[in-house]
Structure 1
């Protein structure tokens, strides 16, 4: 569970809550944002949700929606996709899974651990523009499997702090 504050009042947010806001399209992206936010809050301590700025190399709509619902950062103009944050030295599979969370005067930057959470098949199939109906069906399955792998990890097992 993710706990943030709204004017000092705790708000507990679950993955299921984020999926209700986002819809069924990109559960993997929602799971990435959820895991990254949980880890950031664990490192930053109690945070006011409307006081967090998020920068990420991850452009997916699931991630954006999760950050918006939990932190209200999109409508608050505190969310930016910054392609330059990508860890290109980590290869195509891991490069874009980088998140930087700033609360007050502290920034925590996280990257996805190299532990098989994202598969090359998912990246390749997701990038393909000439997908068939069978490809789309396979991609839907891969998205859910990735979300399941991410959510099975404890805080600190999915994302790691970049120093």
Structure 2
């Protein structure tokens, strides 16, 4: 489960945790590794529910998140290109995120939208 598959113009694209860490750069900063993990895992959980288990067209995924950390940002960008294309909103004060676990950078809350459907993922206490 250390990878995710999406499509780019109909072509299958597979991204691994290790590749996302390389994209991040030095990536051995523990907080950023946690952010990469949360970004990847939230996509792995949400994406299958957005289109009946089929890989999503990466440039059609929109993101709202309360977590501005660099690790999660790079995971989201590498897989969906949402920052490059302007399909992301980062708001540390999202009311929907109030019950999500908080880190020094923000709350681990991610919302993914795709072709009219939206799924929210968050890390809850415990």
TM range, normalised to the smaller chain?
Answer: 0.7 to 0.9
Distance 1:112 1:20, change over 3 A: same
Among 39, 42, 47, which residue is 2:48 paired with? 42
Shift of 1:82: 1.5
Residue segments in structure 2 that go unaligned for 5+ positions in a row: none
Residues 126-147 of structure 1, C-alpha deviations (whole Å, 9 max, x = no match) = xxxxxxxxxxxxxxxxxxxxxx
C-alpha RMSD of the superposition: 1.8
CA distance in 2, matches of 1:92, 1:68: 22
Contact 1:19–1:30 (CA under 8 A) maintained in structure 2? yes
Contact 2:101–2:123 (CA under 8 A) maintained in structure 1? no
Residues 58-100 of structure 1, C-alpha deviations (whole Å, 9 max, x = no match) = 010111111111111100001121123253345645x711100
Residues 20-63 of structure 1, C-alpha deviations (whole Å, 9 max, x = no match) = 10021311111110001111112113310000001100010111
**Equivalent residues, number:** 114
Q: Secondary structure at the match of 2:82?
A: coil
The structure with the largest helix share of the pair is: 1
TM-score when normalising by structure 1? 0.64
Matched, 1:108 2:119: yes
**Which of 79-88 and 25-34 deviates more?**
79-88
TM-score when normalising by structure 2? 0.82
Question: Larger radius of gyration, structure 1 or 2?
Answer: 1
